Amino acid sequence: MTVAGNDPQGTWNAFLDASKDKISKHVFDTWLLPVRAKALSETAITLEVRDQFFRDWLNDHYLDFIRDGLKQATTHDLAIEWLMNPTAVSHDAPGVEFSEQEAEQAPAVPVPSASQLQLNPRYEFDAFVPGRSNEFAFAACKAVADKPALAYNPLFLFGGTGLGKTHLLNAVGHEILKKKPSVRILYTTSEQFVNEVINSVRFNKLDEFHNKYRRSCDVLLMDDIQLIAGKERTQYEFFHIFNTLYDSQRQIVVTSDKLPHEIPEIEERLRSRFQWGLIADIQPPEIETRVAILRKKAENDRIDLSDEVAFFLAKSIPSNVRELEGALIRLAAHALLTRTSITLDYAKAVLNDILDARGQLVSVESIQKAVATYFNVRVADLKSARRQKVLVRPRQVAMYLCRKHAQASFPELGSRFGDKDHTTIMSACRKIEGQLKEDPSLRKQVLDLERQLDVTHTNN
């Protein structure tokens, strides 16, 4: 059948008429009937679909079938150009267009409970203690919870271990559900997500997987996104999920312990998408915030905590909120079992092993190894005389951290870094000290390494 004239939808309808008996009714109704033709020339046809998932499915499974059918309908080889319009058609009612109001009145998909979503009931905004170190991230999460997909999308939270990223991620989910219980929220960790991808491929359940993340999700909350680094198939799946949700104005919030450009082995197209929205960092809390966190925890758990003990704990554990709360829980448990009041001396005795371990000096070797791993270089490179740009900063950071935390002398460090002159070590330490005041990226790297080494850091 040949279609004359420039009639995009007429041409598409002719293709549909000729194709409906060649494929299953399910495929025809679900994937071909909802498509609309918006433009036609002698060389190309523009087809409108709802989102990128729809487009990708047709491209992967029926592109040749569509091209061949259109050639029979028009006698031309037509290139397929795609137009995505989230409001154009419904996947659940193929070929039927409906208004936003009608969509809201349509039967709702059953909404999983908070426990099914795996949201932690303890992690709500009211239980979070904001301070100078985290107030920007806190405000950003509140804004997203108030207006999902309208405030900041995607929202990328980054910070070290135990600083509150997971707490804020869960709090966003809880707050959205309070205001609109019908919103379909998916909370997952990258580890869980990787396992889902593997099992979906292994057991041929990709359609179910795609339905869960692309069609049955209004808000995606994913923890530790950096863990998908190096996993190509997982990144492929997440990329298309991201595009589908973003194109259809659905909220995405992810957390990471690294900035997007610092995550190794991740596709550039994903890295750039993480930078589309807002990046909010969480720094180690200052002592006032640490004390406030302890007081709130003590109040919620009905622990009798004096200011003296609170300040002692806050000073002793400066860089990890999770460790800080863990120390308080341990102290309270000991006091309860022994029926003893929590005094300063009692706190020092109970936590002696923890505090002694934290107070021990780290070795030069452990610092060199940590720095090499962090910057993806070899320890031998740190000790070499090579001056490539990719090695200069890691080497200088390693020298600075060794001087600060291993408390080795300049001559000793010179010998431990490939028999360099002690003045080279001095110069590197001074340079890093100066740059720390001006370079937030360098501050982040040094803080990350200090947290990994589990050493007390000071403001630089």
Is residue 444 in some structural domain? yes
State both tokens at 19. Answer: 């194709």
Domain membership of residue 436 (yes or no) is: yes
Degrees, nearest 5: CA angle 292-293-295: 65
* Residue 300, number of CB atoms within 10 A of its CB: 11
pLDDT confidence tier of residue 61, bands split at 50, 70 and 90: confident
**What pLDDT does residue 223 have?**
93
Q: Establish if 107 belongs to a structural domain.
A: no
Pair 278, 189 in one domain: yes
Whether 352 and 398 map to the same domain: the answer is: no
- Residues 379-393: tens digit of each pLDDT: 888 999 888 888 999
pLDDT in tens, 430-439: 999 999 988 8
Q: Domain range holding 80?
A: 8-84
Same-domain status, 19 and 54: yes
> Are 405 and 379 found together in one domain?
yes
Which pLDDT belongs to residue 222? 95
Say whether pLDDT at 3 is over 60. no
Among residues 359, 377, 407, the one where a domain terminates is 359
How far apart are the C-alpha atoms of 431 and 347, rounded to whole Å? Answer: 40
Claim to verify: residue 258 and residue 176 sit in the same structural domain? yes
CATH of the domain at 350: 1.10.8.60
Q: Pairing mode, if any, of strands 36-40 and 44-49?
A: antiparallel
Residue 1 lies in a domain: no
Does 399 share its domain with 372? yes
Tokens 């057991």 belong to 203
Q: Does any domain span residue 458?
A: no
The answer on 438 and 390 residing in a single domain is: yes
CATH of the domain at 271: 3.40.50.300
Lowest mean per-residue pLDDT among 33-47, 50-64, 117-131? 50-64
Considering the domain architecture, whether residues 371 and 335 belong to the same structural domain is answered as no
Domain count, the chain: 4
Q: What is the mean pLDDT of residues 279-300?
A: 86
Pick the range with the lowest mean pLDDT from 66-75, 96-105, 219-228: 96-105
For the segment 316-354, what is each residue's pLDDT rounded down to a tens digit? 877 678 888 888 888 889 888 888 888 888 888 888 866
Output the domain CATH number for residue 419. 1.10.1750.10
Residues 354 and 373 in one domain: no
Structural domain contains residue 16: yes
Say if 353 falls within a structural domain. Answer: yes
Is residue 97 pLDDT above 80, yes or no?
Answer: no
Round the average pLDDT of the chain to a whole number and report it: 83
Is the pLDDT reported for residue 104 higher than 50?
Answer: no
Question: At 218, is the pLDDT very low, low, confident or very high (cuts 50, 70, 90)?
Answer: very high
pLDDT for 95 beyond 80: no
Domain boundary among 84, 106, 133: 84
Q: Which of 237, 265, 282 is the C-terminal boundary of a domain? A: 282
Q: Are residues 335 and 396 in the same domain?
A: no
135 with 277, same domain?
yes
Distance, CA of 233 to CA of 329 (rounded, Å)? 41
Considering the domain boundaries, does residue 89 fall inside one? no
The CATH number of whichever domain residue 39 belongs to comes to: 3.30.300.180
Asked if 185 and 272 sit in the same domain, the reply is yes
